[in-house]
Each structure stands twice: as structure tokens, then as C-alpha cells.
């Protein structure tokens, strides 16, 4: 029997306990041994809950109990979660987590600690909720050079953009609806400003490149500037607007970016609606693949954690290798990033743009302005143009 | 160093050799040891090929060489491929394959042979070409009760149906085009009659249920009856027609079927176009997921084989467990299968249908006939109705 301690009995933590209980028989069959929840760490008590008696308030009970094999960190936050994870690993207890913030901040260090102590650190649930993506990246594509990762990595913003696209809603209204449904926090910044997606693309890219991409180095733009008018142009172009996390391996240099993009109907991400997430991975041999599913939600995320728990149970006493080293990845400069841009220009005068960029197409959709699609240009040149034409450029969206 | 022998230097086999060579450095890093192709078994010689000197014509050289750790079976066919696989496993050499026919016919027996001889039998490439689906099914969803699998499992027919849908082409014309492009064989039966998809859904369902679903027990209808007229109705209904392999776990009983289905635009399979494949997996905890990619093609399929080779290299000397037992799964009867059906009726008289089924909707799209959508009914009742109205029913398609 393997003994598990769950740190944090919130949404995901309680989901993990529930799955380990409800699917006990299936799990026992697959693991060849029973997995038992011995402790749940939380500041609160849960009278009446079926796991009521397992709740403890003192982490030292867990970390000093030699019977505990696996620690499930579903606390959230960074500092204490990191500290508890590190302590467990140093005692040879394997840890799995849904906490992307800790993984993005301390991933390579914790992976090394796990390796040094013959245990493992897994984090399938930190990206894409229930979507299997972390494990497939290193077990299904171990022989691939991953050239590109592009994903819809945040369910809240995808819900909002889907509403704006399909129902013509305004940004403020869909934000309110997302908050009412519990998808967005009262302070929605982590979602709408792209910080959440940023950590996720940093993790995925680190894994695919084998070196660390620091989330601080990933240029991140959210969806707060996206308006109804942008969607009117998108519709005319047969496109939709999605918040994407993307990275490319440019001959060993890493291009990474989080921003809204216009994508066309033939892109498999186009039909990823509502709170669903999807990650496209392009390998040099396998070509284009996509992984799709619920990017959040109690049981979907907990299911990913449970897949880690089972992996840890089956690999007790040894390190599950993860190809992510504590070496900083070489990041591409803005001069090396190249996109087409859609630009909305006040009035009809696009001379200021033409001085910097080729113009591929113009579109009229909203009175008193014009839409321009540039030819491919570098990000630094675009930013220079944007600054020079700050008075006339109403908004811009990169095109994929 | 791990020594590999490749059986069959055709499309997939030569792709495996190419990836092992081209991505040698990546693979060495991930596997912590070198993987070397020692032999290639083929009846032909390949003068001028970089692997020319590794070609042998006699399998006994391979199976009797104690240095060979891993056998890659990419021969095709059943009897000899099965015989060679069995012989390798009995000698403790692990085997991986892209040969769905052998897996569907002999899978559980070969898995047991592997287990008994402390080696492994892997077959990621047998379903979905480059799409990671076999390994995720048992490593990413080990704690799930898989309730449903629905997939576009055949690239040739998806290419044909996409052309018919988007360009209004006729069946005979798209078949000719598929043959000209090398997607379909001169005898296209295995693809267009659904036999290929049938073996694949049998394999996926066996893995998800842990018991054997014999492909002979999976009711299979191909796309040979699908016409331009059917797509005209589909368009009016905002739907497309796709050849799906599907299975459901009905309280332990297995419903399995291969047939054309009408699916709506919100289904993630709707936008899977051209030769691409995708598999949706619904778990009782994780909810809906989808895996998408190239279902065929030299390097995509070979990439899946290489992921197995690396897995085998990392797990040398032990058995990688696969939850598929040699016990026949309990199959649902036609009375337990329930669908909505779209029916095209000659003339306008639908009384013969109304005697058996509720009618939810009628659609007019083609002169001299009418389209009917039934309410949910059982497959046996539908078949009875179809027989009784054989003179007036022009075609039928199940609705998802």
C-alpha cells in the first residue's frame, strides 16, 4: 500500500481525494497496489466530510512520517508550497502538484532535488488542467525535436473571447459573466493579463527545449484591449481571436510569447471554444499534433494529479527523469521574432504604416477607421512603427 | 548501447531508421544511451542506401543474435509478422510495431508472452499514426473509467469526406483522387469499407476496458453509400459527415461501432479535415479530451514507433505493463445501442417510418425525396424499420 498526503483541501485537493476514493478499484488494478490517503493538510477542519479524520494542521506530522510515500501539493501560493515540496523531496518522498506558479519559479531546482534523493517531482496538472500534455511531451515525443508549441492555455479568457466572438458581447460584460460563473477571480488580472498562460508556456517550452525558460522573459500581452470592433474585422477575415501562448525553437534560440492572435478557421485551435484548452505541438518528425480538453475544473485537474500519483506509486524508490535542466535557454530578441500584424487605423491614412511595413490587405468594417494587414515584419520594427503612429493606431493583433 | 533490428524496410520501417539516425543526438540525451540499428530484414537489397550494409534476408540471424535488444516490426501482413514477433518475445527481445492487424488479432496473447519473458510489446503506431494515443490511454488516464472513445481513425476516408463536404465532389471522383495521391490502395476496401478503422477502435477499446474486443464483433459500415445528396442535407443541418470508430462502456458492456455519422459544428471532430485523424476520449473524471494529428504518413507513424523504441530501451529487461487481458469483453446487443438516425426517404411519405420511430425533424434538400431525423431509437428497431421500408429508404446516417 502506498500512503498519500494531500496538502490543501481546496478545489483540486478535494478532487484528488474524491477520485482516489471513487475510482479506487480501477486504480488498484492499474497500480497493482492500494493507494490510501493518510493525511490531508489544511488550516480548516471539515466536519462531516468523509476525510474529516485525516485532516491535520501541522506539516511536520506528514514530512516526518516515514510511511508517507507521496505528497500531493495542491495548496496554491508559492513560498510555503515550495518549502513543503522541498522538505518532502529531501526526505525522499515524491511530490506531484497542480501549482504552476511553483513549477515555473522553482521547477528545475525541485527536479534536481528529487533526482538527488531518488524520488520524483511531477506536475502534469500544472498546464492544461485535465489535458495530458506534460507526460506526452517527454514520453510520446522523446525522439522529436519540438519546433513549435502553440496553445490556448487559459480557460477563463477563452470563455470570454468565445462569447465576444459568437454573441457579439462586450469585454466588460463577458468579464462580469465570467466572474459570476466563478471562472474569473474578483481581481481577474492573472487571467486577462496573460500571467497564467505565461507561466504555462514557460513550463511547456522548458520541457521541450530541455533548458529553463523563465516566465519573466516571456513577453506577455493580455486580452484587455480586445474589443467588439476587433471581432468585426476578424469575422470579415474569416478568423477568430484567441489568447495564445506560443514558443518556437529557432535553431536553439527560443521565441516565446503570450498575446491575442487572429487565427483562421482551418487552424485546429479555431474551434476550441468556451473554457476548453488545447495545445498544439509540432515536432520535426511527427508534424502537427494537438491535445484538447478541460483546462480547469475540479475533477479534470484532479484527474491529472491522480495520473501523477499512480506514476509515482509505480515508480516508488526511483527517479522519473524529466528532461528539464537548470540552464537558462537562449531567448530570441524582438528582431528575430517575425509576424504579420493586423492594425486598426483611425481615419483612412495608412502612410505612417507603409513607411515601415508592406501592406498585404486593407479591410473596412467599422466607420471612421480602416484595418490593415501587414506583410511579415519583425517585432522590433513593428514596435517602432507603433510608437511613431501612436496617435492613429487604435489596436493591433498578431496574425497566425 | 541498445541494438535494434527493423523488420521490413518499407515506408514506416525506413522512416524509423531515418529518425533514429537524424535525431540521434536528441534520442541519446533522452535515453542516456545510444540506440543503434544493427539489422534491417527485407527480401530486397537497397544498394546506395545509407543502411545498405545492415540489410539481411534471414530472420534467424536477428532472433539468434543475443546483442539484439529491440525488434521493430514494420512488415505488414499477419502470419509471418506474428510468427517473428512471437519468436523475438520468447527470446526476451522486446518488440514494437505499427501493425494494427497483428495487434487486433493477437494483441493479448503477445502481451502475455512479453510479460512471461520479462520483455515488452508496444504498439503506439498501430492506431492514429503519429498521434500519441495508446500510451496516454494507459499512462495519462490510469485512474479514469473511460466511458467513451470516438475517433476519426482513417485518414484516407477523412480526406475523401472532406473533399465531398467542402468542394461538393462525387464519391467516385474523390476515390480516384485519393488513389492518385497514394492515400488509397488500388483495392480501397480496407479504408472505404471501414475495416482499418474497425481494427483500430477494437484496439483502443480493448485497452480502455482491459478486456479483449474482437474486431470481428464490431459492426462496421463504410462510406461507400455516402453521396453528394447526403452532404446537401448535412449542410442544411449545419453538420458534416465523418467516418467514426466509436465505443462506449455501458456499465461494463461494450458498445462498439464503425460507421459514418453526422456531427455538428461544435463537436471537436467537426474541424478535423483532410488526412488528419483525431481521437476523443471521455473519462468519468477528466471529461472530454481529444488527441489530434497525422493518422498516417512515413515520418509521423515512424515517430510513434520511435517513442516505443525509446520506452523499450529505457525499460530493458523488464515488462512494461499494459492493461489488456485475454478475456472477451461483454458486447452490447443491437437492442442496447441507441442513436438518432437521419433517413432519406423517396417521395414524401414517411408513414412507414413513423410506425417505428418518433420523427424529430424533416428537411428538404433534394427533389423527389425528404430527409427525416428520428428521435432516439434502438439499433435493432431501426434495422427492422429499414427492412420493412427497403423500397423507400434511400440512405441513412447515424447522428452524434
Q: How far is the alpha carbon of B131 from chain A, nearest alpha carbon, in Å?
A: 7
State whether A136 and B131 contact (CB < 8 Å). Answer: no
Q: How far is the alpha carbon of A319 from chain B, nearest alpha carbon, in Å?
A: 13
Q: How close are the terminal C-alpha atoms of chain A, in Å? A: 50
- Looking at the structure, tell me whether residues B155 and B279 fall in a common domain: yes
What are the residue numbers of the active site of A? 200
- Looking at the structure, tell me whether residues B270 and B246 fall in a common domain: yes
Q: Is the pLDDT of residue A82 over 90?
A: yes
B21 touches chain A (CB under 8 A): no
Backbone angles phi, psi at A118, to 5 degrees: 50, 40
A135 chain-B contacts, CB cut-off 8 A: 136, 139-140
Q: How far is the alpha carbon of B367 from chain A, nearest alpha carbon, in Å?
A: 32
Mean per-residue pLDDT over chain A, rounded: 96
Q: At what angle do helices A155-167 and A228-236 cross, to 10 degrees?
A: 70
Q: How far is the alpha carbon of A86 from chain B, nearest alpha carbon, in Å?
A: 25
Q: How far is the alpha carbon of A234 from chain B, nearest alpha carbon, in Å?
A: 19
A299 touches chain B (CB under 8 A): yes
Backbone angles phi, psi at B153, to 5 degrees: -110, 0
pLDDT band, residue B266 (cuts 50/70/90): confident
CA neighbor of B364 nearest in space, from B274, B229, B242: B229
Rounded to an integer, what distance in angstroms lies between the CA atom of residue A38 and that of residue A54? 6
Residue in chain A lying closest to B296 (CA): A286
Rounded to an integer, what distance in angstroms lies between the CA atom of residue A243 and that of residue A165? 13
How many domains are contained in chain A? 3
> DSSP assignment, residue A226?
-
Mean pLDDT in residue range B312-326: 94
Longest dimension (CA), chain B: 72
B291 chain-A contacts, CB cut-off 8 A: 289-292
- Strand A253-264 versus strand A359-363 pairing type: unpaired
State whether B287 and A294 contact (CB < 8 Å). Answer: yes
What CATH number should be reported for the domain holding residue B264? 3.30.360.10
What CATH number should be reported for the domain holding residue A388? 3.30.70.260
Rounded to an integer, what distance in angstroms lies between the CA atom of residue B72 and that of residue B8? 9
Does a structural domain hold residue A242? yes
CA neighbor of A155 nearest in space, from A176, A132, A173, A178: A178
What CATH number should be reported for the domain holding residue B49? 3.40.50.720
Rounded to an integer, what distance in angstroms lies between the CA atom of residue A251 and that of residue A265? 29
Of B31, B285, B307, the CB nearest to A141: B307
B327 touches chain A (CB under 8 A): no
Backbone angles phi, psi at A334, to 5 degrees: -65, -25
Select the residue from A132, A135, A140 to test the B interface by mutation, using most B Cβ atoms within 10 A: A140
Residue in chain B lying closest to A300 (CA): B286
Does a structural domain hold residue A326? no
CA neighbor of B6 nearest in space, from B321, B315, B308: B308
User: Which residues on neighbouring strands pair with residue B264, listed in sequence order?
Assistant: B239
Mean pLDDT in residue range B83-105: 97
* Selected residues 57-116 of chain A with any CB under 8 Å from a CB in chain B: none
pLDDT for residue A42:
97
Mean pLDDT in residue range A238-251: 97
User: How many other CB atoms are found less than 10 A from the CB of residue A388?
Assistant: 14
Q: How far is the alpha carbon of A381 from chain B, nearest alpha carbon, in Å?
A: 35
Residue in chain A lying closest to B308 (CA): A140
Within 13 Å of residue B171, how many CA atoms lie on the same side as its CB?
13
Question: Are A101 and A33 within 8 A, CB to CB?
Answer: no
Does a structural domain hold residue A153? yes
Of B136, B285, B294, the CB nearest to A303: B285
State pLDDT tens for residues A168-204. Answer: 999 999 999 999 998 988 999 999 999 999 999 999 9
A289 chain-B contacts, CB cut-off 8 A: 130-132, 291-294
- Looking at the structure, tell me whether residues B150 and B99 fall in a common domain: no
pLDDT band, residue B398 (cuts 50/70/90): very high
Backbone angles phi, psi at B293, to 5 degrees: 170, -165
* Selected residues 266-285 of chain A with any CB under 8 Å from a CB in chain B: 266, 268, 270-273, 278, 283-285
Does a structural domain hold residue B270? yes
Mean pLDDT in residue range A134-151: 95
Which residue among B294, B322, B355 closes a domain?
A: B294
pLDDT for residue A31:
86
Q: Is the pLDDT of residue B31 over 90?
A: no
Of B22, B143, B289, the CB nearest to A26: B143
pLDDT band, residue B348 (cuts 50/70/90): confident
Of B20, B272, B300, the CB nearest to A286: B300
Question: Is residue A76 helix, strand or coil?
Answer: coil
Does a structural domain hold residue A41? yes
Rounded to whole angstroms, what are the CA distances from A75 to A10, A93, A97, A101? 7, 17, 9, 11
Q: Among the residues of A117-212, which ranges form H helices?
A: 134-139, 155-167, 171-180, 189-192, 195-209
Q: What percent of chain B has a predicted confidence (pLDDT) above 90?
A: 95
Q: Is the pLDDT of residue B39 over 90?
A: yes
Backbone angles phi, psi at A60, to 5 degrees: -65, -30
B311 chain-A contacts, CB cut-off 8 A: 139, 142
Of B30, B141, B300, the CB nearest to A142: B30
Does a structural domain hold residue B376? yes
Instruction: Pick the more confident residue, A295 or B376.
Output: B376
- Looking at the structure, tell me whether residues A281 and A360 fall in a common domain: no
Close Cβ partners of B176 (under 8 Å, ≥ 6 residues apart): none
pLDDT for residue B304:
97
Within 13 Å of residue A59, how many CA atoms lie on the same side as its CB?
16
B11 touches chain A (CB under 8 A): no
Rounded to an integer, what distance in angstroms lies between the CA atom of residue A56 and that of residue A62? 9
- Looking at the structure, tell me whether residues B113 and B149 fall in a common domain: no
Q: Given its phi and psi angles, is residue B142 left (phi above 0), alpha (psi -120 to 50 degrees) or beta?
A: alpha
pLDDT band, residue B52 (cuts 50/70/90): very high
CA neighbor of B383 nearest in space, from B349, B333, B348: B333
Does a structural domain hold residue B210? yes
- Looking at the structure, tell me whether residues A77 and A187 fall in a common domain: no
State whether B23 and A309 contact (CB < 8 Å). Answer: no
pLDDT for residue A33:
85
pLDDT for residue A348:
87
Instruction: State which residues form the domain around A264.
Output: 135-294
Burial of A129 (0-12, 13-18, 19+ CB in 10 A): buried
pLDDT band, residue B296 (cuts 50/70/90): confident
pLDDT for residue B367:
94
Rounded to an integer, what distance in angstroms lies between the CA atom of residue B111 and that of residue B121? 6
Q: Is the pLDDT of residue A32 over 90?
A: no
- Looking at the structure, tell me whether residues A276 and A149 fall in a common domain: yes
Helix (DSSP H) and strand (DSSP E) numbers for chain B: 14, 17
A327 touches chain B (CB under 8 A): no
pLDDT band, residue A390 (cuts 50/70/90): very high
Backbone angles phi, psi at A275, to 5 degrees: -85, 5
Using CA atoms of B202, A143, A198, A224 in order, give the dihedral in degrees to the nearest 10: -60
Residue in chain A lying closest to B274 (CA): A266
Select the residue from A150, A277, A282, A286 to test the B interface by mutation, using most B Cβ atoms within 10 A: A286
- Looking at the structure, tell me whether residues A260 and A168 fall in a common domain: yes
- Looking at the structure, tell me whether residues B119 and B151 fall in a common domain: no
Cα torsion angle, B259, B265, B267, B271, sign = positive
Using CA atoms of B301, B304, B305, B310 in order, give the dihedral in degrees to the nearest 10: 160
State whether A285 and B299 contact (CB < 8 Å). Answer: yes
- Looking at the structure, tell me whether residues A112 and A88 fall in a common domain: yes
* Selected residues 182-221 of chain B with any CB under 8 Å from a CB in chain A: 210
pLDDT for residue B30:
86
Close Cβ partners of B89 (under 8 Å, ≥ 6 residues apart): B95, B110, B113, B114, B117, B119, B121
How far out from the chain centre does Cα A252 lie?
Answer: 22
What are the residue numbers of the active site of B? 200
- Looking at the structure, tell me whether residues A261 and A382 fall in a common domain: no
pLDDT for residue B195:
97
State whether B139 and A307 contact (CB < 8 Å). Answer: yes
Does a structural domain hold residue A329? no
- Looking at the structure, tell me whether residues A302 and A370 fall in a common domain: no
Amino acid at each position: 500500500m502506498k500512503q498519500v498526503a494531500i496538502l490543501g483541501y481546496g478545489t483540486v485537493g478535494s478532487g484528488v481525494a474524491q477520485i482516489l476514493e471513487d475510482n479506487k478499484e480501477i486504480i488498484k488494478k492499474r497500480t497493482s497496489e492500494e493507494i490510501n490517503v493518510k493525511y490531508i493538510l489544511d488550516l480548516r477542519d471539515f466536519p462531516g466530510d468523509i476525510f474529516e479524520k485525516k485532516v491535520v494542521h501541522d506539516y511536520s506530522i506528514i514530512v516526518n512520517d516515514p510511511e508517507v510515500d507521496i505528497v500531493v501539493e495542491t495548496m496554491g501560493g508559492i513560498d510555503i508550497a515550495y518549502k513543503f515540496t522541498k522538505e518532502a523531496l529531501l526526505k525522499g518522498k515524491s511530490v506531484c502538484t497542480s501549482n504552476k506558479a511553483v513549477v515555473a519559479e522553482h521547477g528545475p531546482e525541485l527536479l534536481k532535488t528529487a533526482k538527488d534523493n531518488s524520488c520524483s517531482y511531477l506536475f502534469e496538472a500544472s498546464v492544461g488542467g485535465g489535458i495530458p500534455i506534460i507526460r506526452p511531451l517527454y514520453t510520446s515525443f522523446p525522439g522529436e525535436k519540438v519546433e513549435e508549441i502553440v496553445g490556448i492555455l487559459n480557460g477563463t479568457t477563452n470563455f470570454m473571447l468565445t462569447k465576444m466572438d459568437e454573441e457579439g458581447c462586450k469585454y466588460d460584460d463577458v468579464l462580469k459573466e465570467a466572474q459570476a460563473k466563478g471562472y474569473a477571480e474578483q481581481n481577474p488580472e492573472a487571467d486577462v493579463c496573460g500571467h497564467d498562460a505565461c507561466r504555462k508556456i514557460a513550463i511547456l517550452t522548458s520541457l521541450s527545449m530541455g533548458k529553463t525558460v523563465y516566465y519573466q522573459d516571456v513577453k506577455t500581452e493580455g486580452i484587455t484591449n480586445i474589443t467588439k470592433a476587433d471581432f468585426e474585422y476578424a469575422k470579415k477575415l474569416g478568423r477568430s481571436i484567441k489568447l495564445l501562448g506560443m514558443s518556437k525553437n529557432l535553431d536553439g534560440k527560443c521565441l516565446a510569447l503570450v498575446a491575442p492572435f487572429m487565427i483562421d478557421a482551418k487552424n485546429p485551435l479555431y474551434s476550441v471554444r468556451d473554457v476548453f484548452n488545447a495545445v498544439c505541438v509540432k515536432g520535426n518528425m511527427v508534424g502537427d499534433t494537438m491535445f484538447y480538453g478541460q483546462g480547469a475544473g475540479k475533477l479534470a485537474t484532479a484527474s491529472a494529479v491522480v495520473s501523477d500519483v499512480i506514476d509515482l506509486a509505480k515508480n516508488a524508490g526511483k527517479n522519473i527523469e524529466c528532461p528539464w535542466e537548470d540552464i537558462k535557454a537562449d531567448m530570441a530578441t524582438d528582431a528575430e521574432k517575425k509576424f504579420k500584424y493586423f492594425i486598426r487605423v483611425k481615419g483612412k491614412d495608412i502612410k505612417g504604416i507603409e513607411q515601415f511595413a508592406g501592406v498585404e490587405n486593407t479591410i473596412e468594417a467599422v466607420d471612421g477607421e480602416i484595418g490593415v494587414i501587414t506583410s511579415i515584419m519583425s517585432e522590433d520594427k513593428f514596435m517602432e512603427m507603433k510608437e511613431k503612429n501612436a496617435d492613429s493606431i487604435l489596436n493591433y493583433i498578431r496574425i497566425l
